[in-house]
Amino acid sequence: MKKFDVIIIGGGASGLMCAISAKTNHPNISVAVLEKNPRVGKKLLSTGNGRCNLTNQNISSQKYCGSFKKQSKFIFSKYNTNEIISVFKKLGLMTYCDNDGRYYPVCRQASAVLDVLRFACDRFNINVFCEENIKSVKKVDKNFDIKTDKDTFTAKKLVIACGSKAAPKLGGNSSCADYLKNFGHTFVPFSPALCPIKVKSDILKSLKCLRAIGKATLADGHNNSLKEEFGEIQFNDNALSGICIFNLSLYSKKNYIIKLDLMPNISEEELIKILLQNQKLFGNIEIDNLMTGILQKRLSQAILKQSNIKDFSRLCNTLSEQEIARAAHTVKNLDFVIIENSGFEQAQAARGGVAGNEIDEKTMKSKIVKNLYVCGEAVDICGECGGFNLHFAFASGMIAGENL
């Protein structure tokens, strides 16, 4: 049996940072990380398209959802952007901030972030065990006993840092839910987030692979706007995608609506005037050219169809003013009814995790089981795209580590 003061399950962003923080703050304790993959940090390597967007200039609990959202204020006041940047600087990583406030390593390589974490683990003599397939996690008297298919481990303190179900190919799974539920915790089931959203639509197939810039608004069943995003919208076979859609996926529900405004910088009235002018200019040309110079042709065709103008053999000068007004309205109000978020395979994160009110944010300790800690995506909090999830993983890992 291998004995340690602390065992951390999960060698990802939060687990590695927790181990480093534990040894920085308590140099004499023995720390082990148990990782099921052959190497630690596989997901980290894929973050930010291989560049790792590790934090953001605008960290605030407003950028997150989940039952831990309110408590996260404490975490972000203690570990704000500058703190995270400075922790990484001390580990040897230089970062830069892009024009949208997203921080990356200066070398633009996610592997650099993982490497500085791995090197620190080596320097601090943190025991990292890979390819550990955990069979059981139990509290026996005052200790936590963990059986894997190779060995048995025991520790006085246990940290659950094994992430969420998002991206199963990179190690995502729901094992933390099993462990935490067995310990008596309430667990909000994981659901995919930061992913494309599947929608009902007759026009989507014709728009496959098309990208457009616009405003995307999420509205509930009563047409109340819940969240607005600007940016590139990608049209897939059966889903909408792109960073702004990913951000809406944090709050989406079946039968909610995604409203696209494909000309957000001009009013509907102005757009009508422009289309009337185009009608004069393109009078003897087929109607699917009406929006030439404004929208891509496939998108114009879809807009016309959606506006119930379906005969593309007609010429622009045959369109009535009402038809032009209808087309302009559709450009500014292209609505899609949500079916569901795409699956975990396409998700960068997951909603759900251990219930926020069962974790003390000042220490990341369980309020239910003594000497049990939870950090990272295993907690019920999920942030927007832009470095928010890694920031929470690192910050919560550091808080757990210093309070061990």
Ligand X SMILES: Cc1cc2nc3c(=O)[nH]c(=O)nc-3n(C[C@H](O)[C@H](O)[C@H](O)COP(=O)(O)OP(=O)(O)OC[C@H]3O[C@@H](n4cnc5c(N)ncnc54)[C@H](O)[C@@H]3O)c2cc1C
Closest contact distance (angstroms) between CB of 281 and ligand X is: 45
* 290 vs 400 by CB, closer to ligand X: 400
Q: Which is nearer to ligand X, 97 or 134 (CB)?
A: 134
Using CB under 6 A, list all residues that contact ligand X: 9-15, 34-37, 40, 42-44, 46-48, 52-53, 132, 134, 161-163, 166-167, 170-171, 173, 175, 348-349, 376-377, 387-390, 393
Using CA atoms of 279, 280, 282, 287 in order, give the dihedral in degrees to the nearest 10.
20
Least gap, CB of 182 to ligand X (angstroms): 13
CA distance 36 to 44: 15
Residues in the chain: 404
Can you spell out the DSSP letters for 23-53?
Answer: HHH-TTS-EEEE-SSSSS-HHHHHGGGGT--
For residues 45 and 315, which CB has a smaller minimum distance to ligand X in the complex? Answer: 45
Judged by beta carbon, residue 84 or residue 309, the one nearer ligand X is 84
> Which one, 179 or 282, has the nearer CB to ligand X?
179
Which residue in the shown chain puts its C-beta closest to ligand X?
Answer: 12
- In the complex, the smallest distance separating the C-beta of residue 349 from ligand X, rounded to whole angstroms, is 5
- Here the tokens at position 138 are 């139990």
Which residues 6+ apart lie within 8 Å of 151 measured at CB?
Answer: 1, 2, 129, 132
CA distances from 306 to 201, 210, 248, 252, 302 (A): 10, 17, 23, 23, 6
Q: Smallest distance from the beta carbon of 316 to ligand X, in angstroms?
A: 45
DSSP conformational letter for 384 = P
Residue type, 57: Q
CB neighbours (10 Å) of residue 387? Answer: 29
Provide, rounded to whole angstroms, the least separation between the CB of residue 29 and ligand X. Answer: 20
By C-beta, is 214 or 376 nearer to ligand X?
376
Could you tell me which residues are beta bridge partners of residue 136? 147
Q: Determine the Cα–Cα distance for residues 318 and 86; give it in Å rounded to an integer.
A: 65
- Would you state the structure tokens that stand for residue 313, as one six-digit string? 């053999």
Least spacing, CB of residue 58 vs ligand X, in Å? 13
User: For residue 49, what are the CA distances in angstroms to 43, 46, 130, 218, 295?
Assistant: 11, 6, 25, 26, 29
d(CA 232, CA 270): 22
Which lies closer to ligand X via its Cβ, residue 167 or residue 287? Answer: 167
Measured from the CB atom, the residue of 47 and 217 that comes closer to ligand X is: 47
